[in-house]
Amino acid sequence: MTTVGIDAVEIWTGNLKLDLPGTFAPQMGEDPEKYTKGLGLNASSFPDSYEDIVTMGANAAYRLMDRKGLEPEDIGRIDVATESAFDNSKPVSTYVAGCLEQVYEGDFHHANKGERKFACIAGTQSLDDAYNWIKAGRHRGRAAIVIATDTALYARGDAGEATQGAGAVAMLISEDPSLVELSIEQGYGSADETDFLKPNQQFPSVDGKRSVQVYLARMREALEDFESIAGDSHPDQYAYIPFHTPFPGMVRKAGLLGYRHMIRDTEIEDELAAEIGRQPRAEAFDDEEAFREALREYMDSLKETETYQDWYAKTIDPTLTLSREVGNWYTGSVHVARASVLKHGLENDLDLTGSKLLVGSYGSGAEAEIHAETIQEGWREEIAALNVDEQLAARYDLTWDDYEEIHDAHNHDMDVDIEPRTTPDAEFVFDGWGRMGERKYRFVE
Ligand code: COA
């Protein structure tokens, strides 16, 4: 059977950086450890004044095509996932194709282009679309480009301001992929929720605490749905579990919940019983609240066990390395987590070919999706080609005054013109407005 999955990945960060413990915390009057230890973040990436979702997406896609030696006619589909779109009709993918056509001789006139919206899960849904298109045999031997691109900015003073970010992930989806094969099995957990939304507004209305609870509830539902077709999962079955990472502290909660679920009725639960007892079972309680309280106590004890901490350090923590330095990239965030863990494998010279990932995506509103991935033979070469460390190190470190100006410059309700903090180098930049209110772009050598 044809294998289909991600053949290659490229990451493009916004060119600016906000230091959370060093610059943000003092202005907020908060302990820097709230960010580094509580939320798990050191910095957020920001777009410079000439950057937006199109430039970041096109720059990631250009690196991808250039590195893989692709021409426009090799691509049958360009899907952009974003929750930062600026047009209710014209999709971002048309702008991205327009950018790429400036640097290639050929064009994308025969490529299907779309834009996917479902909060942070849309990147994974676009992967699905590309996967299904290839599996259905409609691709004519061509590959798909999926781009997840966002400027995740919150209103000034919103609790989410600490978890901002900006960047793009471009992925090439093809037959016989070099990086990971996607499983046919997948599970969903979806419900009509109002944890985070942008009703025709730029910055989100967000109930942060509730969004954390909805994330966990939907993720658990998706895992149960996945297990209903793939069989029960066991913690040792997966080398790594990349989750959607709005901030690493969120994944800390998801990891614990997932572990408790997976060890139920296994030898791990039995071995831990002498130390912390067995998991409370609903049938043993008359009262729901007493059951919930017993579960909370069990989770608190489980979190402190060496068995859990070892598993977390091995399976989850390496997925968070990049996220700690860039913040939330919304649609790109789970794909940053996957890249992070493969980069960890490369840096530690691990033999990961054939190992499995369990990938947990989430979008507010709300939906979680779980599927498995099998790491392919070419993973090492693909990941070695990433230059994300160089990009992160080259970001301009914003002062507080810079940050206030940059946030205003990206605020659609303000008309603020500022000097860029960085100089573009071999990349697409925003180049002003056209006659129809469209955005214009050009490639800077
Ligand atoms: N040292 C160590 N940890 C600290 C700390 C300190 N000095 N101060 C606070 N913390 C911990 C808190 O205990 C909390 O961890 P916990 O949830 O494990 O208990 C964490 O840091 C965050 O602190 P909290 O007071 O809850 O932050 P907040 O109220 O300012 O905002 C969110 C947190 C998530 C609600 C906010 O960032 C938000 O709205 N984000 C956007 C929405 C989002 O990303 N949702 C996720 C699902 S998609």
pLDDT in tens, 281-297: 999 999 999 999 999 99
For residue 426, what pLDDT is reported?
Answer: 97
Segment 223-233 mean pLDDT: 98
Segment 392-408 mean pLDDT: 98
Query: Residue 298 pLDDT > 80, yes or no?
Result: yes
Segment 134-158 mean pLDDT: 98
Segment 386-394 mean pLDDT: 98
Question: Which atom of ligand 1 lies nearest, measured to the CA of 119?
Answer: 48
Please tell me the distance from the alpha carbon of residue 102 to that of residue 65, in angstroms, as a whole number. 14
Segment 163-168 mean pLDDT: 98
Structure tokens at 206: 């967000």
Pocket of ligand 1 contains residue 360 by CB under 6 Å: no
Under DSSP, the state recorded for 5 is E
Nearest Cα residue to 169 out of 126, 203, 212: 126
Pocket of ligand 1 contains residue 211 by CB under 6 Å: yes
Segment 37-52 mean pLDDT: 98
For residue 401, what pLDDT is reported?
Answer: 98
Domain that includes residue 269, residue range: 4-444
pLDDT, one tens digit per residue, over 24-44 is: 999 999 999 999 999 999 999
Pocket of ligand 1 contains residue 404 by CB under 6 Å: no
Contact of 96 with 64, CB cutoff 8 Å? no
| Cα three-residue angle 201-361-313, rounded to 5 degrees | 125
pLDDT, one tens digit per residue, over 330-354 is: 999 999 999 999 999 999 999 999 9
Among 211, 243, 250, 369, name the best residue to mutate to test ligand 1's pocket (greatest count of ligand atoms within 8 A of Cβ): 211
pLDDT, one tens digit per residue, over 60-97 is: 999 999 999 999 999 999 999 999 999 999 999 999 99
Burial of 212 (0-12, 13-18, 19+ CB in 10 A): middle
Among the listed residues 10, 51, 139, 244, the single catalytic one is: 244
For residue 85, what pLDDT is reported?
Answer: 97
* Nearest residue (CA) to ligand 1, atom 16: 38
Among 163, 256, 296, 361, name the best residue to mutate to test ligand 1's pocket (greatest count of ligand atoms within 8 A of Cβ): 163
Among 30, 33, 34, 41, name the best residue to mutate to test ligand 1's pocket (greatest count of ligand atoms within 8 A of Cβ): 34
Whether residue 83 lies in the annotated active site: yes
* Nearest residue (CA) to ligand 1, atom 32: 208
Whether residue 244 lies in the annotated active site: yes
Segment 394-406 mean pLDDT: 98
Please tell me the distance from the alpha carbon of residue 48 to that of residue 377, in angstroms, as a whole number. 37
User: Ramachandran region of residue 29, left (φ > 0), alpha (ψ -120 to 50) or beta?
Assistant: left
User: Ramachandran region of residue 44, left (φ > 0), alpha (ψ -120 to 50) or beta?
Assistant: beta
Listed as own residue / partner, the contacts of 192-199 with beta carbons closer than 8 Å and 24 or more positions apart are 192/365, 193/218, 193/364, 193/365, 193/366, 194/365, 195/364, 195/365, 195/366, 196/119, 196/364, 196/365, 197/364, 197/365, 198/83
Q: How many helices (H) and strands (E) does the chain have?
A: 15, 15
Query: Residue 106 pLDDT > 80, yes or no?
Result: yes
pLDDT band at 2 (very low <50, low <70, confident <90, very high): confident
Ligand 1: centre distance to CA 37 (Å) = 10
Question: Which atom of ligand 1 lies nearest, measured to the CA of 364?
Answer: 48
Segment 440-445 mean pLDDT: 97
Burial of 95 (0-12, 13-18, 19+ CB in 10 A): buried
Query: Residue 1 pLDDT > 80, yes or no?
Result: no
pLDDT, one tens digit per residue, over 245-273 is: 999 999 999 999 999 999 999 999 999 99
Please tell me the distance from the alpha carbon of residue 278 to that of residue 355, in angstroms, as a whole number. 30
C-beta neighbour count of 237 within 10 angstroms = 13
pLDDT, one tens digit per residue, over 167-184 is: 999 999 999 999 999 999
Burial of 303 (0-12, 13-18, 19+ CB in 10 A): middle
Among the listed residues 83, 367, 369, 427, the single catalytic one is: 83
Please tell me the distance from the alpha carbon of residue 369 to that of residue 359, in angstroms, as a whole number. 8
Segment 362-374 mean pLDDT: 98
Task: Give the CATH number of the domain where residue 413 resides.
Answer: 3.40.47.10
Segment 39-58 mean pLDDT: 98
Cα dihedral angle (395, 397, 403, 406), rounded to 10 degrees? Answer: -30
Segment 363-368 mean pLDDT: 98
Q: What is the largest CA-CA distance in the chain?
A: 72
Q: How many domains, the chain?
A: 1
